[in-house]
Structure 1
Amino acid sequence: MAKDTLTTPQPQTLEQEPQTTTVSLGRDARQNTLRNIGLIIEHEYKKRLTQRSFIISTIIILVLIVIGACVPTIIQYFTANSNSQTKVVVVNNAGTIAGMNDTALRRYVDSTLNGTASGQSASEKAQFAVSTAPAGSSNNLQKQVKDGTLDILLVLDRAPGQDDVHFTYYTHASSPDIATTSQVQTLASQLSLLDRSSRLGLSADQTSKLFAQPAFSVVNLGQAQDKRSVGDIVAGYIIAYAGIILIFMSVYLYGMTVAMGVAEEKGSRIMEILVNAATPLQLMAGKIIGIGAAGLTQMAAFVVVGITALLLQTPLKAALLGNNTGGLNLNITGNFITLLLLLLVYFILGFLLYATLFAAMGALVKRQDEVQNAVQPLTWLFMIGYFVSFFGIYSPDATWVRVISYIPFWTPTTMLMRVGIGSAAGWEIGLTIGLMLITIVICTAFAARIYRAGVLMYGQKPGLGQLIRLARTK
């Protein structure tokens, strides 16, 4: 009966050309290819998921995600239940301002600083405790500010011969809080506008209409009209920013895991045993897919826990604060789901592309501590697309950004950025996915030849010429 044969590489040095030894196997050798790859995938997947470092890092990141999502609610909870308030006293030496007496002025300052029409909601304590003092009492109050018994003193004056109000802000802090100072400046601007409008004979309603925001819309005639809602646009930017970072970190970390795993097996000489049980291509494919599946599992956990934590902020705030304002209204629309699916697609394609090259580089080193230097060119190559994505987000339709987004090595991050902000057409998405698939096939064939010869090469690290010869070896 005719027999199929499988050629297995033998250990070689840098000076030797790759040699092969013919081993007689059964006819079912090729039929076992998928089975071998499946076993390797299962081994790598279980190995990564059961590693102590993997479990601990995943738990830590999940806890950080939950804490990060809950931080606004936690801060608001402690602020609402804190006895400390920022004490503000307003001294009006400027006379009547916009027709308001001291009581009306206090209410206006209170509502403006605390951000609500009544100064505070029924279940929350106001951040600022606002009161007024008689005109001419600022000197005594300045002593209280200096002693620390009063937080803010706001004095309103009119300079002789001038109609505009002058605002003086007194505080005890050596470095005034930027957020509080900004709020007081906003209050001063609004009071000044109201006062000027009143002196010009305008009513409060007329003043409100005068400074109302105009209706403004953008219609892009260069491509199909963007019919996304404001929520979809915001979600697109969030996914673009978060996705770029997630893809870069994940592809790099999991790619390094592939390279380190190959180098570890090669350094311990386990590879010599493995290549007799499966072909180098099967080993490379199984390792890449297994580690990639572990990475996808970890990413899925991050996404699910993150979205769940954000959605739970509304009921959590209702339970802690007695109201449900300020929660995240996450609108799960078709556009949102499409963006998440494209994030998944570009992550998988980007990982497969770089993981094959990382595996080839890992096969060329003698020890694990050499992996970092070996993969450095790939790291710099990937970082170009990462930085272009952030710089290009301000001009996504620029020719140079579009050209770079078509280059497969930079597509995962740059195209996700363009898709997220709505500047990529459907045909561009299809084109870039197709180009990446073609490049993955080419790089896999290239990396497989280097991997096949490199895993059993224990001499010094080959140079560029030797790499080319290895890649041309069939």
Structure 2
Amino acid sequence: MRNFGIILAHTYKNRLMSKAFLISTAITLIFMMFIINMDRIFMMFEEDAESRGVEVALVEESGEWFLPLSEQLEPHSDRIQLIETSLNEEEALEAVSDGEYGAALVMQESNDGLPRATFYSDSLAQQFTPMQIQNALQHIKETQVTQELGLSSEALAEIYSPISFETSTVSDSARSERELNQARSFVYVLLFVIYFSVLIFGNMIATEIATEKSSRVMEILVSSASPVAQMFGKIVGIGLLALTQYGLIFLVAVGSSVVSQDEVEGGFTMIQTLLGESIPLDLIGYAVLFFLLGYLLYATLAATLGSLVSRIEDVNQVIGPMNLLVIVAFFIAMFGINAPESSFITITSFIPFFSPMIMFLRVGMLTIPLWEFLLSVGILVATIGILAIIGSRIFKGGVLLYGKSSAFKDIKRAIQMTKKE
């Protein structure tokens, strides 16, 4: 146990202080702060655009469109300034080219008496101004047609009002629509967490073992600690590293959200959605359980495979099939979010290499029988135990294999070396 603690602490400390971990964590935290404060950032751009505004020269012959269009654009008068001119179309376009106006709106009347317009600007990148003008003209058109048909504004509002439509369930244990939407968001985020954790930290475990083999440190460790202590010391050490990184991300996310809540209305919405009081505690428990079991499963496999290579360059080759399993499981889960009750999702939730993601998807989205949950977890735990037993034997012999790796052919050699001892 003492050797296990030493290996765990050594692995955790070395990786915690490595440049790669510090840089990746810093980038992740900056990205998280950007996502949380996205509303504030966009608001800054909007405020900058509002301070400049856009002068739009109106070109029309009848003179009847300026007043109703100005009234419709009144809420956006700080960003769109409609100017009535006596210019013709050609003169207005030249004025826009010279920078005298930001844009020009040429109004004409169609054969049926309805407005028709063309918006000219020096760049098609402008989106806000033409969109608001189009919406204003659409409202003017609807008002004009309504009056011609003899319809009141109340009748028009009743026509466009949405139909009352609700969904419900006859099952008392089924999740409500609100709970289901929150569970879907929570499951979606956790699937990404499991996916990236396995890919990043699983590869980190295999690389850690290959690095020690290449420096011949492994020969010293083999003589001073059991293979199980070595393997799980690295697995738990890297696992604590992952929890450290996720803990920092969580603290930054909550801190940024609190600041956003103080300055921007609704800035706390995302964190409340994911971690609010309405998220059932059992769903959080399932998330922790399947995250830990999924990590132990793939980390044990990664440590076993990493012991078969003696060069860091060979790590990606031997880890490739494991990464493929993770990717397949992830995509099945992503498609399964929209069809969690399908037979394919049900069957794959019992396959141990898929169940950390897919069974978590099912328990998060559905109310499943207890025996299905227990069976899936039991198969998963048994698979981890079998991998640990076989992996420790392969690990013990694999760490002594040097030279060019032949991938899975080395498994037999590693087991044979363990039997000779």
Deviations 1:420-450 (A, max 9, x none): 6x34637455544333222211222221221
RMSD: 3.2
* C-alpha spacing 1:313/1:306, structure 2 compared with 1 (3 Å): same
1:153-172 correspondence runs (5 A): 153-160=104-111, 162-172=112-122
User: 2:390 and 2:102 mapped to 1: Cα distance?
Assistant: 69
Cα gap change, 1:157 to 1:204, in 2 (>3 Å): farther
Report the equivalent of 1:425: 368
Listed one character per residue, the Cα deviations across residues 184-234 of structure 1 (whole Å, up to 9, x for unaligned) are 4444444433332232122223222221222222235589443253xx555
Aligned-pair distance for 1:287? Answer: 0.9
Aligned partners of 2:24, 2:177: CA distance in 1, in Å? 37
Counterpart of 1:385 in structure 2 is 329
Q: Contact 1:449 / 1:471 at 8 angstroms: preserved in 2?
A: yes
* Corresponding residue number in structure 2 for 1:404: 348
Pair 1:288-2:255 in alignment: no
- Partners of 2:134 and 2:363 lie apart in 1 by 39
SS in 2 for 1:407: coil
- Secondary structure of the structure 2 residue equivalent to 1:169: strand
Larger displacement relative to structure 2 (220-229 or 43-52): 220-229
Deviation larger for 300-309 or 402-411: 402-411
State how 1:37-76 maps to structure 2 within 5 Å.
37-76=4-43
Q: Return the TM-score normalized by structure 2.
A: 0.85
Q: How does 1:229-244 map to 2 (within 5 A)?
A: 229=178, 235-244=182-191
Is 1:371 the counterpart of 2:315 in the alignment?
yes
Partner of 1:110: 74
Using a 3 Å threshold, how does the CA distance of structure 1 residues 185 and 448 change in structure 2: closer, same or farther?
farther
For 1:362 and 1:196, how far apart are their aligned partners in 2?
73
Q: Are the counterparts in 1 of residues 93 and 104 from structure 2 also a CA contact under 8 Å?
A: yes
Amino acid at match of 1:293: L
| One-letter amino acid matched to 2:74 | D
What secondary structure sits across from 2:245 in the alignment? helix
Unaligned runs of 5+ in 2: none
Aligned with 1:414 (options 354, 358, 361): 358
Q: Is residue 2:52 matched to residue 1:84?
A: yes
In the TM superposition, what whole-angstrom CA distance separates every residue of 1:289-345 from its partner, at most 9, and x where no partner exists?
11111111111211221132123212134xxxxxxx353332512416555544333
Q: Output the amino acid matched with 1:154.
A: L
Alignment of 1:288-367 (within 5 A): 288-317=235-264, 325-329=265-269, 330-331=272-273, 332-335=276-279, 338-367=282-311
Change (3 A) 1:452 1:328: same
Structure-2 separation of matches of 1:416 and 1:107: 54
Higher helix share: 2
Checking the alignment, whether the CA contact within 8 Å between 2:58 and 2:66 is kept in structure 1 is: no
Change (3 A) 1:153 1:219: farther
- Cα displacement (A) at 1:462: 5.1
CA distance 1:412–1:155, change in 2 (3 Å): farther
Residue 214 of structure 1 pairs with residue 131 of structure 2: no
Counterpart of 1:272 in structure 2 is: 219
Shift of residue 353 of structure 1?
Answer: 0.6
Give the distance between the partners of 2:86 and 2:107, measured in 1 at CA.
9
Correspondence for 1:436: 380
Structure 1 pair 307–85 and aligned structure 2 pair: CA distance change class (3 A): same
Which secondary structure state, in structure 1, belongs to the residue aligned with residue 212 of structure 2? helix
The aligned counterpart of 1:147 is: 98
TM-aligned CA deviation for residue 453 of structure 1: 1.5
1:246 CA drift (Å): 2.6
- Give CA deviations for 1:104-142 in whole Å, capped at 9, x if unaligned: 53222333xx4xxxx6xxxxxx4x223252698655433
* 3-state DSSP of counterpart to 2:52: coil
Question: How many equivalent residue pairs?
Answer: 412
Q: TM-score, normalised by structure 1?
A: 0.76
Partners of 2:383 and 2:131 in 1: how far apart? Answer: 52
Supply the distance in 2 between the matched residues of 1:223 and 1:39 (Cα, whole angstroms): 52
CA contact (8 A) 2:309 2:407 kept: no
Q: Deviation of residue 262 (structure 1)?
A: 1.1
**Structure 1 residues 392 and 171: alpha-carbon distance in aligned structure 2, compared to 1, 3 A threshold:** farther
Q: Residues 93 and 136 of structure 1 are in contact (CA less than 8 Å); yes or no, is this contact kept in structure 2?
A: no
Give the match's secondary structure for 2:261.
helix
Report the AA paired with residue 119 of structure 2.
Y
Q: Is the 8 A contact 1:251 1:347 kept in 2?
A: no
Contact 1:360 1:451 in 2 (8 A): yes
Higher mean C-alpha displacement, 81-90 vs 43-52 = 81-90
Q: 1:216 corresponds to which letter in structure 2? A: F
Q: Deviations over 1:353-409 (max 9, x none)?
A: 111111111111121211111111111111111222333334333322333333221
Partner in structure 1 of residue 204 of structure 2: 257
Residue type of the partner of 1:263?
A
CA distance in 1, matches of 2:286, 2:17: 29
Residue equivalent to 1:28: none
1:1-12 matched pairs, under 5 angstroms: none
Deviation, structure 1 residue 156: 4.1
Contact 2:104 2:120 in 1 (8 A): yes
1:11-63 alpha-carbon deviations (Å, 9 max, x no partner): xxxxxxxxxxxxxxxxxxxxxxx333233222222222232332232223212
**Identity over aligned residues, as a percent?**
28
Q: Distance in 2 between matches of 1:192 and 1:413?
A: 52
SS at match of 1:380: helix
Relative distance call for 1:167 and 1:426 in structure 2 (3 A) is farther
